[in-house]
Amino acid sequence: MSSAKNSPEQAAGGPEPTAGRKEWFALALLVLPAMLLFMMLTILFLAIPYLAADLKPSSTQTLWILDIYGFLMAGLLVLMGTVADRFGHRNLLMIGAAAFGVVSAVAGSADDPVMMIVWRALLGVAAAAQMPATLGLIFGMFQNPRQRGVAIGAWAAAISAGVALGPLLSGLLLDAFSWRATFLVAVPVMLLVVVGAPFLLPGHQKSQTGRLDLVSAVLLILALLPFIYGIKSIATDESLAVCLAAIAIGLVFGALFVIRQLRSPAPLLDVRLFGNRAVGGALGVFILAATGLGGIYLMFTQFLQQVKGLSPLETGFAILPAALVLIVVATLSPVMARRVRPGYVIATGLAVQVVGYLLLTQVGSDTGLPLLIASFIVLYPAVAPSMALTTDLVVSSVPPEKAGAAGGLSSTVNDLGISLGVAIVGSIGLATYRSEVTDGLPAGLPAEVEEAARDNLGGAIAAAGQLPGELGESLLQASRDAFAGGLNTGAYVAAGVAAVGAILAAVALRHVPPTGTAAVTPGAPDKVAAVTEPADDSVRK
């Protein structure tokens, strides 16, 4: 099969080109950084104790080492998507990959906590440069809606697999090497991207001209960064007033950004795209799906380690089956969307996810691993249709010259949803834990032990280890039972969020036809253009 090309027939409104072997090899190259960049969000979760033993950061520095990467990546995705649309997706991907590889090598040899924060921040910037560029390239190479759906499904599966496989890879690396290997693993991947991009990826992706609106760029950063920081900090011990103030500052700058975009003849981000039902509905569903999963994923991994006593490597292997099923579901979702409306496929996935969450509500501290793993296998892969199909809906509903910005917006919504989940679902679970552990604490505990136990499960486990026999066992059992109660409550909340997402998908996206039978007209809210389906699987508008 030959590579896709823009023929005169296609330029005149004929059939969209069919991607060939080169494009599929290029997709394999693009999913590698997508998987790695999201893997780096979780790969330090298990490595941080070893890193802390070497670098001796303060508790505040430790939090920044963990959070600054995802914080900056999320805040800069939309901006970098617009930059990619203007200056070339392949160009920005190669620059970002080269920077990520170099900074990873330097970070792997760091011996100072402050510099580690700096390196993680720079990795976040380099990651933000690559993510929307990968999606923009996929949009350009796979113009056939059916093939594009499969390609974006593979891209979405790679992202989810990266998040899930981060702890597993971290456990394997820590077992054989030191924490520094968690950074160095990125170097060969990014080298492959830099070397392979000129041969496999199209270089004519530059689609916008003119000066970049730097004022809008600054306003966007000032809107997203404080807002995301405020959301992320709600689930920590940060002052609630500080969190709300950060959110308010972000909203004010967000309003200023929207006003400027509406008045600009060449906006950095066309906010009118939200008037498109496919875009607005898809982003709404996406954020709900990510919100439900974000808090539960974190609580589930803590449950496996701190309640069931699994090692980091064992925890990674416990999550692996769900990650593998997710890859299969994400790959099949675009195929299902050829025969069933995407909104209904997404709604079905979220309904299945509700079942998984409800299974978790029945989990106790003495529940065996088979039920735990089965619950996660049901709920985790069920998010795949919303990831694969909503991203395709968003990117496909905008003009090609805005694909990078739309992809950045989609990824930002995903990160924001996960942050909301950690903040909302995680905070509700923590509040339940504190309430139940207070009622279940054994008598005769020292005041400082009671305070540590009420703070979090980790504090209770540490305190229990310093107490004599039966008293320590009683404290340990009470804290684990309380954490199971927090997981149950969080799962109920997540189930409600997923149920709302399922209803929204079925209602707001019901007008979107199956792939290959009709297409939402890019940039034209609520209008559908009929297409036919020739025997050669190409799609005619």
Residue 112 has pLDDT above 70, yes or no: yes
Instruction: Give mean pLDDT, residues 183-205.
Output: 87
Beta strands in 59-179 (DSSP E): none
pLDDT tens track for 272-310: 777 777 778 888 888 888 888 877 887 888 888 888 888
The pair of structure tokens assigned to 218 is 């600054």
- List the one residue out of 136, 270, 262, 266 whose CA is nearest residue 213: 266
DSSP annotation of 520? E
Pairing status of strand 518-520 against strand 528-530: antiparallel
Q: How many percent of the chain have pLDDT more than 90?
A: 15
* CA quadruple 264, 93, 185, 37: dihedral, nearest 10: 30
Instruction: Give mean pLDDT, residues 8-15.
Output: 46
Rounded CA separation 288/192 (Å): 35
- Return the pLDDT at 525: 42
- Return the pLDDT at 402: 66
- Return the pLDDT at 294: 79
Average pLDDT, the chain: 79
Residue 536 has pLDDT above 50, yes or no: no
Rounded CA separation 130/127 (Å): 5
Instruction: Give mean pLDDT, residues 55-81.
Output: 78
Higher-confidence position of 451 and 341: 341
pLDDT tens track for 388-406: 788 777 777 666 666 666 6
| Poorest-pLDDT segment among 182-196, 288-302, 488-502 | 288-302
Instruction: Give mean pLDDT, residues 353-378.
Output: 90
The pLDDT confidence band at residue 384, using thresholds 50, 70 and 90, is confident
CB 459 within 8 A of CB 452: yes
Residue 492 has pLDDT above 90, yes or no: yes
Rounded CA separation 152/165 (Å): 19
- Return the pLDDT at 144: 79
- 143, with CB counted inside 10 A (0-12, 13-18, 19+), is buried
Instruction: Give mean pLDDT, residues 38-64.
Output: 78
Q: How many percent of the chain have pLDDT more than 70?
A: 86
| Poorest-pLDDT segment among 68-82, 142-156, 520-534 | 520-534
Residue 245 has pLDDT above 70, yes or no: yes
- Return the pLDDT at 532: 31
The pLDDT confidence band at residue 43, using thresholds 50, 70 and 90, is confident
Residue 256 has pLDDT above 90, yes or no: yes
- The string of DSSP letters for 11-40 reads HTT-PPPPP-HHHHHHHHHHHHHHHHHHHH
pLDDT tens track for 415-463: 777 777 777 787 788 888 888 888 877 777 777 777 777 777 777 777 7
Residue 353 has pLDDT above 90, yes or no: yes
Instruction: Give mean pLDDT, residues 83-100.
Output: 88
